[in-house]
């Protein structure tokens, strides 16, 4: 799609976060007249500095007159496609696209795109490291790390762009066509943004919508929803699973991740090299191994990479221990399914810190894990009332006004040898900048608690 041109076009970029800033820079570089709009009135220097490039800034909202003059609109992933004024533009056939769609039209390298409800970031980062170990020229980004628009200038035909793509980024794609698409899993999420679960799934399906038989779709054969959705794909299909239930593909068998085929089995990575907590994390390693094997990374390079991979911050991350109580940060568990996986993989006698801005879903899916493994829940943020309404009667639920309060209260309820787990099942924006900020504040609260406990012991 390298013939796509915006020279002389008036382009409105909506949303001045990381993706919007990168899109504005890219569009100016490609000859467009750019207006960047942002609902906030206060923005940092990375936004203000765009004026020096000729970008017009519109702060404090998105004026209808600005949109009406646009030849093209680029939406940041945090901005809803139902924003007032966009329907009128669509009616006039003015394109409204995502930042990922924009950038992909100018990329010269190969795109490996990964989506799913959970596990995207871990899979993308690990896969990028595997490909680098195998000698590939790689850029990792998208929804994590470097925005895709920031990768365009460096893109070469030899490069592989390993891209995490969310439903928000995919729903406004029209020509986006990764040579390899990876679909990890599908569970209810972002129902505060999508009108239904079906709409959420339809957005995820955009990852393979433009693929042909010359492209590859890598899918999780353990997930029935993924298998059903993949039936609509025209791409070549590669399956992976945590069991040997598939006759061909990448599976876990005989203490190793192996590739099964009609010509025989090949051992890719021994399980002894995997140091991540939980079966869902192992599934991410299997997915990354399947793609790396497809691209030609050696088994030795894959194994060394996995052995050296300690996981991501804020994903089942042990942040400390206080008087025999472990504190685990899974702040990235922003939906109910991710929280369920975290609980199931952290043992018994858990005190779970949960809550934030509710994104939709059914807390009932947590009932079995809570009843069998959890001693108490600390409810935090906007979702407190919902947590009480949907989980009361299972275990004790205590409200907390802040993360520091939550950590201190959780410690008071934990038994020696038990675990305090931050698994919010909700977004973070009611109290924090993002999930990473929430995880950092959790870690700081644990450090403060440890100091208080040690000081008390010395007295």
Q: What is the pLDDT of residues 39-54, one digit of tens each?
A: 999 999 999 999 999 9
pLDDT of 194 strictly over 70: no
Query: How many other β-carbons are positioned within 10 Å of the β-carbon of residue 247?
Result: 10
> Per the structure block, which two tokens stand in for 48?
């203000």
Average pLDDT over every residue of 326-339: 94
**What pLDDT band is residue 360 in, cutting at 50, 70 and 90?**
confident
pLDDT of 395 strictly over 60: yes
CATH code assigned to 317-458: 3.90.190.20
pLDDT at site 243: 82
pLDDT of 322 strictly over 60: yes
pLDDT of 428 strictly over 80: yes
CATH code assigned to 10-94: 3.40.50.720
* Span 214-264, pLDDT tens digits: 999 999 999 999 999 999 999 999 999 998 789 999 999 999 999 999 889
**What pLDDT band is residue 1 in, cutting at 50, 70 and 90?**
very low
Alpha-carbon gap, residue 340 to 369, rounded angstroms: 7
Instruction: Identify the residue whose tokens are 């201190």.
Output: 408
DSSP assignments along 257-321, one per residue: EEEEETTEEEEEEEGGG---SSHHHHHHHHHHHHHHHHHT--HHHHHHHHHT----TTSSEEEEE
pLDDT at site 455: 86
Strand order through the sheet with 33-38: 56-59, 33-38, 10-14, 72-75, 96-98
pLDDT at site 196: 87
Average pLDDT over every residue of 30-36: 98
Mean pLDDT of the chain, nearest integer: 95
Residue 145 region, left (φ>0) first, then alpha (ψ -120 to 50), else beta? left
Query: How many other β-carbons are positioned within 10 Å of the β-carbon of residue 333?
Result: 26
CATH code assigned to 101-307: 3.40.1190.10
3-state secondary structure of 443: helix
In the chain, the percentage of residues whose pLDDT exceeds 70 is 98
Q: Are 229 and 202 in contact (CB under 8 A)?
A: no
In the chain, the percentage of residues whose pLDDT exceeds 90 is 88
Average pLDDT over every residue of 266-276: 97
* pTM across the whole model: 0.87
The values of phi and psi at residue 91, to 5°, are: -60, -30
| Domain residue spans of the chain | 10-94, 101-307, 317-458
Highest mean pLDDT among 59-63, 64-68, 100-104, 184-188: 100-104
């Amino acid at each position: 799609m390298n013939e796509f041109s915006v020279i002389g076009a008036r382009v409105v970029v909506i949303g001045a976060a990381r993706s919007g800033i990168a899109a504005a820079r890219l569009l100016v570089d490609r000859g467009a007249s750019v207006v960047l709009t942002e609902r906030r009135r206060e923005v940092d220097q990375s936004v203000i500095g765009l004026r020096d490039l000729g970008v017009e800034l519109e702060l404090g909202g998105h004026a209808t007159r600005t949109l009406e003059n646009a030849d093209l609109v680029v939406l940041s992933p945090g901005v809803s496609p139902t924003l007032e004024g966009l329907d009128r533009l669509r009616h006039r056939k003015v394109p409204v696209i995502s930042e990922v769609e924009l950038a992909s039209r100018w990329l010269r390298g190969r795109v490996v795109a990964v989506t799913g409800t959970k596990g995207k970031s871990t899979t993308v980062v690990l896969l990028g490291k595997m490909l680098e170990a195998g000698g590939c020229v790689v850029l990792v980004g998208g929804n994590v790390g470097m925005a895709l628009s920031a990768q365009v200038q460096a893109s070469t035909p030899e490069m592989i762009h390993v891209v995490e793509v969310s439903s928000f980024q995919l729903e406004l794609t029209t020509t986006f066509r990764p040579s390899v698409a990876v679909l990890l899993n599908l569970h209810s999420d972002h129902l505060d943004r999508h009108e239904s679960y079906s709409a959420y799934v339809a957005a995820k399906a955009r990852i393979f919508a433009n693929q042909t038989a010359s492209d590859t779709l890598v899918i999780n054969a353990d997930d029935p929803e993924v298998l059903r959705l993949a039936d609509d794909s025209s791409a070549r299909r590669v399956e992976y699973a945590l069991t040997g239930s598939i006759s061909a593909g990448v599976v876990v068998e005989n203490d190793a991740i192996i590739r099964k085929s009609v010509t025989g089995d090949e051992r890719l990575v021994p399980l002894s090299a995997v140091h991540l907590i939980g079966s869902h994390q192992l599934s991410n390693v299997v997915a990354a191994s399947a793609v790396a094997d497809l691209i030609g990374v050696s088994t030795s390079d894959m194994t060394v990479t996995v052995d050296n991979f300690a996981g991501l911050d804020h994903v089942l991350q042990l942040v400390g221990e206080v008087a025999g109580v472990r504190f685990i940060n899974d702040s990235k568990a922003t939906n109910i399914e991710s929280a369920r996986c975290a609980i199931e993989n952290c043992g018994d006698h858990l005190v779970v810190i949960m809550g934030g801005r509710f994104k939709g879903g059914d807390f009932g899916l947590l009932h079995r894990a809570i009843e069998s493994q959890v001693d108490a829940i600390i409810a935090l943020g906007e979702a407190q009332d919902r947590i009480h309404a949907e989980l009361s009667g299972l275990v004790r639920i205590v409200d907390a006004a802040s993360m520091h309060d939550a950590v201190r209260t959780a410690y008071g309820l934990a038994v020696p040898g038990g675990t305090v787990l931050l698994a919010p099942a909700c977004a973070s924006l009611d109290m924090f900048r993002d999930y990473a900020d929430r995880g950092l504040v959790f870690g700081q609260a644990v450090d403060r608690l440890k100091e208080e406990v040690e000081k008390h012991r010395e007295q």
